[in-house]
Amino acid sequence: MRRRTLGGLRVSAVGLGLMPLSIEGAPDETRALATVHAALDAGVTLLDTADSYHPPGAEPGHNERLVARALATYGGDTADVLVATKGGRGRPADGSWTVNGSPHHLKAAAEASLKRLGLEAIGLYQLHKPDPDVPFEDSVGALRELLDAGTIRLAGVSNTSVDQIRRARAILGDRLVSVQNRYSPAVRDSEPELRLCAELGLAFLPWSPLGGISRSSLDGPSGGPVDGSSGGPGGGLSDGPSGGPGAAVRDRFGAFHAVAREHGVSPQRVALAWLSRRSPTVIPIPGASRPESARDSAAAADLVLSAEDLARLGP
């Protein structure tokens, strides 16, 4: 597994988003643990979770507790695994996603996350989303206090603009190490944020990185299907009623499928490799709910796309 830099640490070039293991449609715990273990076996050392990854209306932290069990039951070495979690969102019974960026909430949420994960300190803690009712500097200030207290080791922000990233950097300095925004073949409106992260040396962790690549396209001899992705609510373009990709999706993203056929791999693997080539600071965090999906995503770190491939996939 190739490595990339995140806050001075060397982590796997592809991480694992854990949201699909705890929200609607999640697998049973046996398969969920097997999925995390498969990713670890494949060399993944970045696990992305959040306290709000749980069924609607349930107690916060289902996914974090799952991560703790997965690491505790894994037979290999987990010393270099970086667990990244997030605070500032909630999931009430109606299934919506709420926002609470108050310093009091964030500090209490981080302490609760730390207890659930069973770590000495949270490796990477991220503000899940700016709260429009709370000054952004106040929310980021809570991250600074958590860093100073040793509750967290590194800090990041998610779903943020260029201006907010610069403001967070002004408060946290070099202790701001990551930005987690939505970015995929289908959704590229965080291009300015990606460029800024490259300029500042911040890891850019695209959530829902497989948007636009149909899930069903992997069904067949090339490997097992890759599931949805993590990092926040939402995902890619869904398949049609028959389970296959719609004509519009095929037309728009056909190059990913064509390149995949030529390499003998899945379109999802090509999409992740393409993302990695957008910038040396990009670390995709695709989700998975099956071991074969986690293995296929991890293999994207070693997929080499030619200049011709990249030209066909587009800017």
- Give catalytic residues, as residue numbers: 53
Are 53 and 22 in contact by the 8 Å Cβ rule? The answer is yes
Q: Are 275 and 16 in contact (CB under 8 A)?
A: no
Q: Which two tokens stand for residue 264?
A: 């003998």
d(CA 46, CA 49): 10
CA dihedral 213, 216, 220, 222 (to 10 degrees): 20
List residues bridging with 99 in a β-sheet. 89
Give the contacts of 87 (CB within 8 A, at least 6 positions apart).
50, 51, 105, 106, 109, 110, 113, 125, 126, 127, 128
What is d(CA 101, CA 89) in angstroms, rounded to the nearest whole number? 8
Report the first-to-last Cα separation within the chain, whole angstroms.
26
Can you tell me the distance from the alpha carbon of 138 to that of 25, in angstroms, rounded to the nearest whole number?
A: 36
Alpha helix segments (H runs only) across the chain: 29-41, 62-73, 103-117, 136-149, 162-172, 191-200, 247-263, 267-276, 291-298, 307-313
Q: Which residues pair with 90 in a beta bridge?
A: 98
Count of H-run helices and E-run strands, the chain: 10, 11
